[in-house]
Amino acid sequence: MTGSSMSTGGRRRSLPGGRAAWISALCGAVLILLAWLGIVVLWPDPSYPSMAADCDRGELFVVGGTDVSLKNQRRALIRQWNEGRYADGRPHPHATLVEVSESTDLQHSQIKAVVESGGCAYDVLIMDNTWTAQFADAGYLRPLEGIDGLDDFFPAALRTGEWDGEQYAVPFNVDVGLLYHHEGVTPPAAWPGLLGSGIAMQLSDYEGLTVNALEAVWNDGGGGLLSGEDRPDVEELRDEVYPALARLAPHARGSLAASRRYGERESIEAFASGTGLMRNWPYVFSALATEPRMRDGDRLRFGVAALPGRTVLGGQNLAVSAHSPNPGDAADLVEFLSGTRSQRLLFSCGGFAPGRYSALGLTPERDSPADVRVRACSSLTGEPPGPGETELPDREQLTQLGRAVVTALGRAEPRPVTPHYSTFSSTFRGCVQKIFDRAGADAESFAGAVDDSLDGRAASC
């Protein structure tokens, strides 16, 4: 059930050489705190170990966004790798996690600047799944070979790591749109019922606006457009995509007006403060389960279900940098982080939806939501809650989340697969804002701008 992504003829652009250019680009960065556990915020300065001119180092550096998982489970997985050994008894090479930003947009710009320079700073990249086409096409990634159990990954998620017929990345965690609701609030069964409900969405100017707007298009007559490898023509953008956004605009000025200020954190706070419904990602479930306002003792005061209709297939992938000085060890670390045990811990202890069937007790042949079987975090780690403490979320609550995720995966669609995704996203959401504001973004200008952006040409409505 896997397939190759849209090819551009296998072009590989040359990478600029020289360490000096990279050091110059980083000269304004803040100093880092490099602890043995490897927690680094923002950018390294020239004293960073991986900045050595010859890149002669045995340590691995993993770069990604801020770890927002419950109990910092990503950091815990890196720590477990550092404590582990290969089958022949050799210790794993030490790995350090570099956390650059919580914002997907900032993660992209900062990581891209480093890998584009040809520098050896990073070995393993934790990437938004929309980056694969751009990074692989530009020669920033090394194809993955020998990863075990590829058929155990959810096929749609695995395809986000393919480019030009090769596998460059594998899923670390998947994301799908979920509908959170307070107890006593009946969630709408169909998409139109959401828009007038005052639901908390993510409509501020960042990737969340692109995601939420695409879901609105797909659920209002534009299903399949601006998704995956199939590129809509100008007429489809004008006659099907634009009208769906125009119908969303009155809600953005009315019942959804508050959501225009919301990213993920702001919408979580609005929901915890009383907004009855919220569209958000799976990791939010565990965050809410530990929020005193959202529980009554062991009982949660909210529920979760799949978002009605189509949803964006989000998530983050693991890839090996083309300029890693330790590509073999880096690939081993990717296999460790994407393995079933790590994925189970990431879900039950961290709240991130896994990329593998087996992490939810499923197989490719037995994959219905009713078949989800998960374990609580303490049963995986052997560390029960302390005296007087309650394990949240517990196994029953995690099962509810797992079933919602699997249901939503059956309705999930990828965002456009293009090396120019960042150009598309910034153009698309800029046009969406103008449509919301009645600022002159007519159907023709919208169609032309979005069509240009898919080719990497900067445009605006």
Helix (H) or strand (E) holding 165: none
User: For each of the chain's 461 residues, which pLDDT tens digit applies?
Assistant: 333 333 333 322 232 333 333 333 333 232 233 333 333 333 444 444 444 445 889 999 999 999 988 889 999 999 999 999 999 999 999 999 999 988 888 999 999 999 999 989 999 999 999 999 999 999 999 999 988 899 999 999 999 999 999 999 999 999 999 999 999 999 999 999 999 899 999 999 999 999 999 999 999 999 999 999 999 999 999 999 999 999 999 999 999 999 999 999 999 999 999 999 999 999 999 999 999 999 998 899 999 999 999 999 999 999 999 999 999 999 999 999 999 999 999 999 999 999 999 999 999 999 999 999 999 999 999 999 888 888 999 999 999 999 999 999 999 999 999 999 999 999 999 999 999 999 989 999 999 999 999 999 999 99
Residue 370 in any domain: the answer is no
Q: Judge if 198 and 88 occupy the same domain.
A: no
Q: Judge if 45 and 168 occupy the same domain.
A: yes
| Sign of the torsion angle spanned by Cα atoms 349, 72, 262, 392 | positive
Q: Judge if 193 and 237 occupy the same domain.
A: yes
**At residue 384, what is the residue type?**
P
Residue 188 in any domain: the answer is yes
Supply the pLDDT for residue 330. 97
**Are the beta carbons of 69 and 346 closer than 8 angstroms?**
yes
DSSP string across 198-250: T-B---STTHHHHHHHHHHHHTTT-TTTTBBTB---HHHIIIIIHHHHHHHHH
Residue 360 in any domain: the answer is no
Residue 9 in any domain: the answer is no
Q: Judge if 184 and 160 occupy the same domain.
A: no
How far, rounded to the nearest angstrom, does the alpha carbon of residue 61 sit from its chain's CA centroid?
Answer: 20
Q: Which tokens in the block code for residue 436?
A: 């919301």
Residue 398 in any domain: the answer is no
Q: Judge if 116 and 231 occupy the same domain.
A: no
Q: Is 428 left (phi over 0), alpha (psi -120 to 50) or beta?
A: alpha
421-437 and 443-454 helices cross at what angle (nearest 10)? 170
Domain edge (last residue) among 305, 331, 348? 348
Domain count across the chain:
2
Q: Judge if 23 and 129 occupy the same domain.
A: yes
Residues 271 and 273: their CA atoms lie apart, in Å, by 5
**Are the beta carbons of 313 and 160 closer than 8 angstroms?**
yes
Query: In the block, which residue shows the tokens 């720590």?
Result: 79
Q: Judge if 185 and 158 occupy the same domain.
A: no
**Are the beta carbons of 318 and 339 closer than 8 angstroms?**
no
Q: Is 390 left (phi over 0), alpha (psi -120 to 50) or beta?
A: beta
Residue 89 in any domain: the answer is yes
**Are the beta carbons of 342 and 336 closer than 8 angstroms?**
yes
Percent of the chain as helix, strand, coil, to the nearest 5: 40, 15, 45
DSSP string across 428-460: HHHHHHHHHHTSS--HHHHHHHHHHHHTT----
**Are the beta carbons of 450 and 237 closer than 8 angstroms?**
yes
Q: Which tokens in the block code for residue 267?
A: 């919408």
Residues 133 and 160: their CA atoms lie apart, in Å, by 9
Q: Judge if 230 and 108 occupy the same domain.
A: no
Residue count (the chain): 461
Domain edge (last residue) among 297, 330, 348? 348
Which residues, listed in sequence order, are joined to residue 62 by a DSSP beta bridge? 97, 124
Supply the pLDDT for residue 196. 87
The closest alpha carbon to 261, from 273, 252, 249, 274, belongs to: 252
Residue 293 in any domain: the answer is no
**Range 3-6, long-range pairs (CB < 8 A, 24+ positions):** 3/159, 3/162, 4/162, 4/163, 4/164, 4/165, 4/166, 5/132, 5/133, 5/159, 5/162, 5/163, 5/164, 5/229, 5/417, 6/133, 6/229, 6/417, 6/418
Q: Judge if 24 and 157 occupy the same domain.
A: yes
Residue 13 in any domain: the answer is no
Residues 251 and 243: their CA atoms lie apart, in Å, by 14
Domain edge (last residue) among 348, 365, 395? 348
Q: Judge if 158 and 213 occupy the same domain.
A: no
* Exposure b/e, 4-16, CB count within 10 A at least 16 = b: ebbeeeeeeeeee
Q: Judge if 138 and 185 occupy the same domain.
A: no
Domain of residue 84: give its range: 19-175+314-348
**Which CATH number do you get for residue 65?**
3.40.190.10
Q: Judge if 190 and 170 occupy the same domain.
A: no
